[in-house]
Amino acid sequence: MLVKKYWHTLCRGEYHIYTVGGYDNSSRLGDCERYSIFKDVWHQLPKLNIPRNRCAVFTFKKSLYALGGYNGQSLNTMEQLDIENMSLWIIVEVKNPIKEACELHAIQISKRNVLVFGGSYGAECYLLSMEAIVCKKLHSLNGNFCSTAAPVFDQKNVYAVTEEHKLCIYDVKEDTWKQVS
């Protein structure tokens, strides 16, 4: 990485790894970077409008999104960066925003929706419609999800690890969570 930091969030895109926000022992950062998997090189991206760490980061279509996070208080804002033009981050208004949106996970689960779950103030599960930009609460969850373990989606299920090191599986079609181990 180009900027030394921690409590940043990583996200995989089609040909890149993105790192968004973070903390440098004195302040929250708006720094964003992109690693080219094929060229083995880091590039600086435009800075976030609101510096944050521990935010949810996901790609959707041709954009990178940062949702929630922490900058001295829990944030419920979302920012969008067009990853083709790499202009500036824009703030996107979310209808029914998540009130305490720190340490969330977000992962695209369909052509229209992103699953958002976890949180440091209670484990909740939401569906974020990217067409209407509206958040709908689906479930309260048992246990908190580990903020350092990124979820994985295989076109049918989302796999995530709790802070107690238990593997949980979200079945997208059935809209159910189950704990495996």
**What is the average pLDDT across 122-148?**
85
Lowest mean pLDDT of 17-26, 128-137, 155-164, name the range.
155-164
* Tokens read off for 54: 């521990």
Which domains are seen in the chain, by residue range? 9-179 (2.120.10.80)
Q: Are 103 and 147 in contact (CB under 8 A)?
A: yes
**Portion of the chain with pLDDT greater than 70, in percent:** 97
**How much is the pLDDT for 114?**
97
pLDDT(147) > 70? no
* Tokens read off for 176: 């159910």
Greatest extent of the chain over all pairs of C-alpha atoms, in Å: 44
Identify the band that residue 89 occupies on the pLDDT scale cut at 50, 70 and 90.
Answer: very high
Q: pTM of this prediction?
A: 0.92
Spacing of C-alpha 103 from chain mean position: 8
pLDDT(148) > 90? no
- The average confidence (pLDDT) of the chain is 91
Sign of the C-alpha dihedral, residues 153, 157, 158, 159? negative
**What is the average pLDDT across 8-33?**
93
**How far is the C-alpha of 133 from the C-alpha of 98, rounded, in Å?**
12
Distances, alpha carbon 125 to alpha carbons 21, 114, 130, 177, in Å = 23, 11, 16, 10
pLDDT(62) > 80? yes
